[in-house]
A = this chain, B = another copy of it.
């Protein structure tokens, strides 16, 4: 697969003021989807602006049985970092206009789904582990979103405030 091929199926319109670049002709590395996320949201317009780890609805992160052993020891972890793949994003936008008003900002100055590598990072609260499925609060993504990684999240205190 190439970037152009994968992007062409789901391209959103380029808004006034937005700028696109040619994607590289070659990929540098590849991703295995390790599972899928089930959420209540089937249209991007329905997704919350930001997930709420305290009061958001429970979502289910279903991990492929191939990786079942990799969940050993995660039980009891309160906060988990979930990396997922925003597979409906376009990858060639360098200047974007989130407000639809023609004023633009750079892609790396935004957390927009549209970026060269459309990987999202969310810190969620782990409620339960049922088999190879994590039940969590704090996601804001579309139902069916592919999972890229799951990591324990520890030291917010170590981050700059």
Contact = CB atoms under 8 A, between A and B. Distances in A.
B33 A28 contact: yes
Copies per assembly: 2
B71 A146 contact: no
Nearest to A96: B70
A160 B123 contact: yes
Interface residues of A, number: 69
A47 interface: no
26 contacts: A1-B27, A21-B67, A28-B30, A28-B33, A28-B85, A29-B85, A31-B117, A32-B91, A52-B158, A67-B107, A67-B108, A68-B94, A70-B106, A70-B116, A71-B108, A72-B105, A73-B109, A73-B110, A74-B106, A83-B119, A108-B151, A108-B152, A109-B152, A117-B149, A156-B156, A156-B159
Interface of A: 1-3, 6, 19, 21-24, 27-34, 50, 52-54, 63, 66-74, 77-79, 81, 83, 85, 87, 91, 94-95, 104-111, 115-117, 119, 121, 123, 125, 138, 146, 148-152, 155-156, 158-161
